[in-house]
């Protein structure tokens, strides 16, 4: 089925998958998809971690977390369209939660948007609750911020 493994954010196969991530966000919201600044070392220990899902032939999903004070911030959560509805998003989210918890983070926080109802449904069903907007898009009409205690 799907193998989830930690990956280097700068790896060419990861960068290729991120083109799909940002492309889908751009389709939904316009522009580049996400202008949130991300540093090259945001997803390296001890700053965070990045994971990919492999179906045996290609990378079909990803998610990462980076430190945000005492919290971990979820970034670049994505599953490719052909594999949606198979539980991969939930598995990636659990992997991120476990990794951030093991690194000593107290909560997982995230920003999503009102044009991503599938993501919102996943987060709510996984126990996330709305919080005050905190990130790059704080104050934008379409932003929705969530958190879950780890």
pLDDT per residue as tens digits for the range 22-36: 888 888 888 877 778
Lowest mean pLDDT among 2-6, 28-32, 45-49, 111-115: 28-32
Domain membership flag for residue 28: yes
Query: Residue 30's domain is classified under what CATH number?
Result: 3.40.630.30
Domain membership flag for residue 115: no
* Domain hosting residue 36, numbered range: 3-106
Coil/strand/helix, residue 99: helix
The pLDDT value recorded for residue 14 is 94
Domain membership flag for residue 111: no
The pLDDT value recorded for residue 22 is 83
Beta-strand ranges (E) seen in the chain are 3-6, 48-54, 59-68, 71-79, 107-113, 129-130, 143-149
pTM of the model: 0.94
Domain membership flag for residue 132: no
Do 63 and 95 meet the contact criterion of CB atoms below 8 Å apart?
yes
In total, how many domains does the chain have? 1
Domain membership flag for residue 145: no
- For the segment 113-138, the average pLDDT, to the nearest whole number, is 93
Domain membership flag for residue 130: no
Domain membership flag for residue 119: no
- pLDDT tens-digit profile of 118-127? 999 999 999 9
- pLDDT tens-digit profile of 56-106? 999 999 999 999 999 999 999 999 999 999 999 999 999 999 999 999 999
Domain membership flag for residue 95: yes
Position 50 confidence tier, pLDDT thresholds 50, 70, 90: very high
Lowest mean pLDDT among 4-18, 64-78, 135-149: 135-149
The pLDDT value recorded for residue 65 is 98
Spatial separation of the C-alpha atoms in residues 37 and 30, rounded to whole Å? 17
Spatial separation of the C-alpha atoms in residues 71 and 136, rounded to whole Å? 16
The pLDDT value recorded for residue 140 is 83
């Amino acid at each position: 089925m799907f193998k989830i493994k930690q990956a280097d954010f700068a790896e060419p196969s990861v960068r290729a998958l991120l083109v799909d991530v940002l492309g889908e966000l751009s389709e939904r919201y316009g522009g580049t998809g996400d202008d949130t600044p991300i540093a090259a070392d945001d997803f390296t220990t001890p700053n965070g971690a990045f994971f990919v899902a492999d179906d045996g032939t290609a990378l079909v999903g990803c998610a990462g977390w980076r430190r945000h004070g005492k919290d971990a911030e979820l970034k670049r959560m994505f599953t490719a369209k052909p594999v949606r509805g198979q539980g991969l998003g939930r598995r990636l989210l659990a992997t991120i939660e476990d990794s951030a918890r093991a690194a000593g983070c107290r909560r997982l926080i995230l920003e999503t948007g009102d044009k991503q109802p599938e993501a919102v449904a996943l987060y709510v069903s996984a126990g996330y609750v709305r919080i005050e907007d905190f990130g790059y898009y704080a104050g934008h009409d379409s932003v929705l911020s969530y958190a879950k205690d780890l």
